[in-house]
Structure 1
Amino acid sequence: MTEASPAGTIATRLVALAARPDDRWSITFLDSHGAVFERCGAAELAARAARVAGFLERERAPGAPVLLVFQPGVDFLVAFLACQWSGRLAVPINPPRRHRLIQRLQAVAADSGATVALTGGGVAEQSALWQADSAELAAIRWQDVGDIDSDPAQATPLRAVDPAATCFIQYTSGSTALPKGVEVSHANLMADMARMEAAWELSPSSTMVTWLPAFHDLGLIFGLLQTLYSGCPVVQMAPNSFLQRPVLWLEAISRFRGTHTAAPSFAYDLCARRIPPEAREGLDLSSLVMAMNAAEPIDPQVMEDFAGVFGPHGFGRETFAPAYGLAESTLAVTASPVGVAPLLFALDAAALEAGRIVEAGASSRRLVIPGSGAPLADVSIAIADPETGRRQPAGRVGEIWVGGPTIARGYWRRPEESAATFGVRLAGEDDPTGYLRTGDLGAMIGDELCVTGRIKDLIILSGANHYPQDIERVAQGAHPALRAGGGAAFGLVGEPGGEQVVLVQELERTQRRTDPAPLFSAISAAVWQTLELQLARIVLVEPGAVLRTSSGKIQRAANRQAWREGALPVIAEWRSARQQALEETRGAAPGAHASSSGQASALEGWLRDWLARRLALPVSAVPLDRGLGELGLTSLDAVDLAGALGTHLGQALPQTLAFDHPTVAALVAHLSGSPPASLPQTPPQIPAPPPGAGGDLDELLSMIEGGGRGHD
């Protein structure tokens, strides 16, 4: 083995940093209270990575995939770099929680062909449970890095690699049953990080602050690896720490004088809405050079609200840096320059719906679309007709096609899907390398890319991806009166309270006069507990009413339009309690609740009051036996509820509490040990999640569409 050239890979960057006596690079990991839990410098990180690499040299051949299954922390970065050090292919994957993501772990393990998994901390103990439940996972060699990275005799020299070779495999996020692994080469990774460094002015004097999950491309590449490339320190915390206490993120920026950070739009919204004025005291965000806004559709109002709330604490609108990218292009495609306020375009909504870019007039219906920046250096963007593959003229919406040195090699062991997505040629043009088809719709307005929608029917809520077919399948399994294959789930964008999900569902022909109330409850509960997703509306329709193509495929966009126009033969329609509140009683103050004596009654009163305040409902609209998802509790709310209730009771409670006990009555029964009379003795059976269905709170943040798309 010979040493690779000093600047060829992220591993050689680490070696160079470790050799500098004045190097200031370090990774500092914060605990759930914001205190320093661990700090590791470049020399120590290199030594630890070399020792774990020694284990991989003995266990697997160069180029072999290795699963990385870690909770957030320094161990993950050690393991990732050990793979680079030894020429093995890192396959980051989030650990299952409550067995909810075992199917996804199984699918990734099977698709990648990995026979070794690196893990650490509490995950090592959990892996024994997964192996007991899964023959696929039992066949894998599970290795705790803590058992090998303390032995200097394990270390191995840095292995030379071909820059064009695969560096790691980034599996697509979302609730798809068949995740695809994107092959990112060493050259891809270095090219993308070089361009991000130039666009966002990163240098050794910068400081990154991140809470993004490291198994996802944005958290991995921009949050961690970019700091090694640019030589700047990084301060990291767990995603769940941010979800429970969003102020910890901003406090870390203030304390460590963070210059760069990134988050999806919902995170900025969470901070603006959930951090009270007294908790903002002492925050100083003036050190920030840029705050990337990416990984889900960007809401201009959220940026305005965040800048308004935190402007007095040193945050300027020009700090926001909207961006667009996808795993198939390593990470970034476009970038907004530092020091320039985001560009917003007021467009004619009717024209945009027809695929045309027209500036809104005084009397037209307006839709404000944010720009996502200009293409990075040497990155080309074409707006193509998705049906014909021809380049669209200026002022027309089409599919975003991307070319350049950051485009990944393809999908791991999927030649047909790779050929359909990578290296695609524009019709009538003779381009030598071709383009990547992103599946996203957009247009160029001057030099600015504007993302306007998605060709596929992906629904993005709070950074989490949901495939409509998963929602439909879970809903239809909730009750025999619902016709299998007869549903259409779709998102509504731009609604009060954020994107909403509507399900249009056919009834079986013999069930058209069935009482709809039990059906609504069954559907809402099943979708909430299985996918951790709240439906805003359920629309029951006549058999055969759901619109399909001539080949029988569900036309979700057409069903959305028909529902909006009242053109569907509706039997019954349901709105969630939160949706009713938004439409009918928005702003109503929660009423007082008088709880009776006794632990269960007091707990019941506390829960109803907390839910009423959080969901902007009167206490009377928070019954004991109504599903929390039906009331409008989101996954983020559920995390807050567990934290607030734990503080109230003086005990640690699992963040999955609201999913395990999904009504007020069930929560009271679980926590008090005395089931109330209204609690059914046998809970309704909830269908098992489909393979790969989302559900982990880190999966909630794993952002973007099935190809890792949507940093827009």
Structure 2
Amino acid sequence: MSPVLPTGTVATRLAALAESPDARWSITFLDSSGAVAERCGAAELAARAARVAGFLERASTPGAPVLLVFQPCVDFLVAFLACQWSGRLAVPINPPRRHRLIQRLQAVAVDSGAALALTGGGVAEQSTLWQADSAELAALRWQDVGDLDAQDIAPAPLREVDPSATCFIQYTSGSTALPKGVEVSHANLMADMARMEAAWGLSPASTMVTWLPAFHDLGLIFGLLQTLYSGCPVVQMAPNSFLQRPLLWLEAISRFGGTHTAAPSFAYDLCARRIPAEARAGLDLSSLVMAMNAAEPIDPQVMEDFIAAFAPHGFRRETFAPAYGLAESTLAVTASPTGAAPRLFSLDAAALEQGRIVEAGASARTTLIPGCGAPLEDVRVAIVDPETKRRQPADRVGEIWLGGPTIARGYWRRPEESAATFGVRIEGEDDPTGYLRTGDLGAMIGDELCVTGRIKDLIILSGSNHYPQDIERVAQAAHPALRAGGGAAFGLIGEAGGEQVVLVQELERTQRRTDPAPLFSAISASVWQMLELQLSRIVLVEPGAVLRTSSGKIQRAANRQAWRAGELPVIAEWRSARQERLDAASDTARAAAHAPATPLAVPALERWIRDWLAGRLGLPVSAVAVDRGLGELGFTSIDAVDLAGALGTHLGRALPQTLAFDHPTVNALVAYLTGQPQVMPAQASPSIPAPPPGAGGDLEELLSMIEGGGRGEQ
């Protein structure tokens, strides 16, 4: 049965809830200890939104974009709904966690054309610093929503809007140099929420529990706005609270009787690995109807590990609901139904590498591919050859093309890019509306969509998105021996230890005989400090060796294939310490990679940090040199959060979560924590020039769990 076509907007839904005495909707925000920090009902939320809308009526014009720059708090939802209430275009964007990482915020401000920024959750003080460093940010009018309570502002009446008009602009994650804003209309949003409600059984009796960041589509639409559409309460916590203590998420589900939740695959992995058996006592997850697994490639083993860990506490296999979607389609595209276990397909790996879907035989090398569910009502999925633009046979992999009422209007103020992505026609078919090109590869197996890879070069690690051109730019700026424009960064999906990131980089002709060790150290330290990303391998090659198209564009997929086949003229190759361990574990013929070194007399703090790092990374303590970059060791963003928490507990003081990024060696950490002067080798902390105007690195942070410019869910 088709879902009832929705009318109105999310603001009219709020207004109706506010007037209903029987409405269950409320938002409960939990602090970092799990205690209730704030609770707001529908009537109060509507009154607050109308008041902020009154300010917007005075400070901007209808249809104007408004930046929403908030730390996690209820005021973000107030500001978003105030934009809907007054007919303004909300532009959610995450505040930089570190002052120097403001390029993405600056780029979005410029691209959106916003003249006004609403803030909250403690952002106002930070914004003063950003404005001092950026003329573009200083040109904005900044308004802390919390300060409006003290002003005499009349609430605005609910403004009628055209359903086909743009509702908000969802900026895709990734490259700060070229941010793209997806224009989502009111009709898109309401249609997608109607379909999600029908697919996953949401109702006023449901309870949503979410920690997902609200500035991306999954956290915003499914985690918050869907609850207003369906009239059910929502319990929210900050992403940092989950990252520091994953148990808080599951405790909130138990405590509030959560029925619906969503997270990327890595979050379920964190829970299975980091919540000890004794800490699980008392958990009751039996209330869950569905736990969406989305936002990054789904790992079947992670699902198995989570089920094994939490089945004794009421979690059922049928609760997992893999899904696929993207911002360009508002949010959801496919959905695994509630009450049915996720489907896994065992395919012939050799055939899959050739783009064919063949069920694995008893002796075949197999690849286990999870299904992402069936298309939502009225959503059209076509599997198309990306080169010929012809529909593929049922047993072939192709690019996933989408059609239907949830497809967004296009990219904000980017007509050429919109035309290349939206409304594209399948060759030989007469379709009046066309399709959205996703850039993802997949196949339909029966009625189930299976995602097999990406045409685009986006790299996803721990839910964070990284564009290869940003990795290449930062690496090449780390040392003058590295040729600008002569690098190719790419991910290796499905490897032991998760997706790995490899950088193939040309040397300048005069530097081919230079010692590679300082280059490796400089590259890994720069990428770690600037992008919060660990490189698994760095491959230095001869000048001109990186493969390009005839027009000079880097062919990253071709470089990945050539490197794997041993066809590149390699000068030197480096692996992180963690990668060395993973390689050694998977190759039984390789001898032990590290021999214990003679113990050094080190201060107690230095010894504690080295022991912690060694235990965390599975390395001998001797491999954790005090002047070796943490990125070189294979340290990840999640490791950094854990180190800050563990070290803070050890020292009995609060430490910033960016500690390891700002002080990226053991020596640097000890110097910072003890207040001593720091002496580091030049190559361990390279000088990184500021990007040119309009450019910038990929500053997408760990909190950017959702891939906005492509795969919203996989």
Q: How far apart are residue 305 of structure 1 and its match?
A: 0.9
Letter in 1 for 2:303: M
| C-alpha separation in 1, matches of 2:613 and 2:570 | 31
Deviations 1:584-632 (A, max 9, x none): 2689999899785xxx711101101110111011111111000001101
The partner residue of 2:604 within 602, 605, 613 is 602
Q: Does 1:192 align with 2:192?
A: yes
CA distance in 2, matches of 1:671, 1:614: 20
User: By how many angstroms is 1:671 displaced?
Assistant: 0.6
Report which stretch shifted further, 151-160 or 254-263: 151-160
Aligned ranges 1:670-681 → 2 under 5 Å: 670-675=672-677
Closer/same/farther in 2, CA of residues 379 and 681 from structure 1, 3 Å limit = closer
When the two chains are superposed, the root-mean-square deviation of aligned CA atoms in Å is 2.1
Tell me the SS of whatever aligns to 1:51. Answer: helix
Query: Runs of 5+ in structure 1 lacking a partner?
Result: none
Residue 616 of structure 1 is aligned with which of 608, 615, 618? 618
Q: Is the 8 A contact 1:100 1:695 kept in 2?
A: no
**Contact 1:488 1:554 (8 Å CA) reproduced:** yes
Which residue of structure 2 lines up, in the alignment, with residue 230 of structure 1? 230
After superposition, where does 1:441-480 map in structure 2 within 5 Å? 441-480=441-480
Structure 2 residue 697 is matched with structure 1 residue 693: yes
* Aligned 1:306-705 pairs, distance under 5 A: 306-584=306-584, 601-675=603-677, 683-688=685-690, 691-695=695-699, 697=701, 700-704=703-707
Q: What is the alpha-carbon distance in structure 1 between the residues aligned to residue 318 and residue 683 of structure 2? A: 56
CA distance in 2, matches of 1:320, 1:254: 17
Over 3 Å counting, the alpha-carbon distance change for 1:657 and 1:202 in structure 2 is same
Deviation at 1:99, TM superposition (A): 2.3
2: CA distance, partners of 1:12 / 1:693: 39
**TM superposition shift of 1:90:** 0.5
Alpha-carbon distance, 1:196 to partner: 0.1
1:297–1:710: 8 Å Cα contact kept in structure 2? no
1:136-155 equivalences in 2 (<5 Å): 136-149=136-149, 153-155=153-155
Which of 342-351 and 555-564 deviates more? 555-564
- Is the CA contact (8 Å cut-off) linking 1:6 and 1:13 kept in structure 2? no
Question: Deviation of residue 677 (structure 1)?
Answer: 6.3
Q: State the distance in 2 between where 1:629 and 1:129 align.
A: 28
Q: C-alpha separation between the residues in 2 aligned to 1:340 and 1:264?
A: 19
Q: Is the 8 A contact 2:465 2:700 kept in 1?
A: no
Would you say the 8 A contact 2:532–2:701 is kept in 1? no
Which whole-Å CA distance do the structure 1 matches of 2:595 and 2:7 have between them?
Answer: 60
Does the 8 A contact of 2:472 with 2:503 survive in 1?
Answer: yes
Structure 1 residues 420 and 65, CA, compared in 2 at 3 Å: closer, same or farther? same
The structural deviation recorded for 1:563 is: 1.4
CA distance in 1, matches of 2:199, 2:69: 32
**Structure 1 residues 317 and 91: CA distance shift in structure 2, 3 A:** same
What runs of 5+ residues in structure 2 fail to find an aligned partner?
587-591
Report the AA paired with residue 673 of structure 1: G
Kindly, what percent of the aligned residue pairs are identical? 83
Residue identity matched to 1:558: A
Q: 1:361 to 1:407 in 2, by over 3 A?
A: same
- Partner Cα distance (2:688, 2:451) in 1: 37
Q: Which amino acid aligns with 2:254?
A: S
Aligned AA for 2:240? N
Counterpart in the other structure of 2:589: none
Q: Paired residues, what number?
A: 703
The answer to whether the 8 Å contact 1:595/1:605 transfers is: no
Where does residue 294 of structure 2 map in the other structure? 294
Deviation at 1:558, TM superposition (A): 1.6
Cα deviation, residue 353, structure 1: 1.3
In 2 relative to 1, CA 150–429 (structure 1 residues): closer, same or farther, beyond 3 Å? farther
What is the TM-score of this pair, normalised by structure 2? Answer: 0.95
Aligned to 2:213: 213
Structure 1 pair 287–675 and aligned structure 2 pair: CA distance change class (3 A): same
Does structure 2 retain, via aligned residues, the 8 Å contact 1:294–1:324?
A: yes
Q: Where does residue 20 of structure 1 map in the other structure?
A: 20
Q: CA deviation at 1:121?
A: 3.2
* 8 A contact 2:464–2:700 mirrored in 1: no
Instruction: State the Cα distance separating 1:684 from its structure 2 match.
Output: 2.8
* Alpha-carbon offset, residue 148 of structure 1: 1.5
Is the 2:356–2:395 Cα contact (8 Å) retained in structure 1? Answer: yes
CA deviations over 1:393-431 (Å, ceiling 9, x no partner): 111111111010111111111111111111111111111
Question: What is the Cα deviation at residue 683 of structure 1?
Answer: 4.4
Could you say if the C-alpha distance between residues 689 and 711 of structure 1 is closer, same or farther in structure 2, counting changes exceeding 3 Å? farther
Partner of 1:79: 79
How many Å apart are 1:51 and its aligned residue? 0.3
Q: Is the 8 A contact 1:50 1:82 kept in 2?
A: yes
Amino acid at match of 2:501: V
Q: What whole-Å deviation, never above 9, does each CA across 1:78-123 have from its counterpart, x for those lacking one?
A: 0000000001110000112222441111111111111111112310
SS of the residue 2:483 aligns to? strand
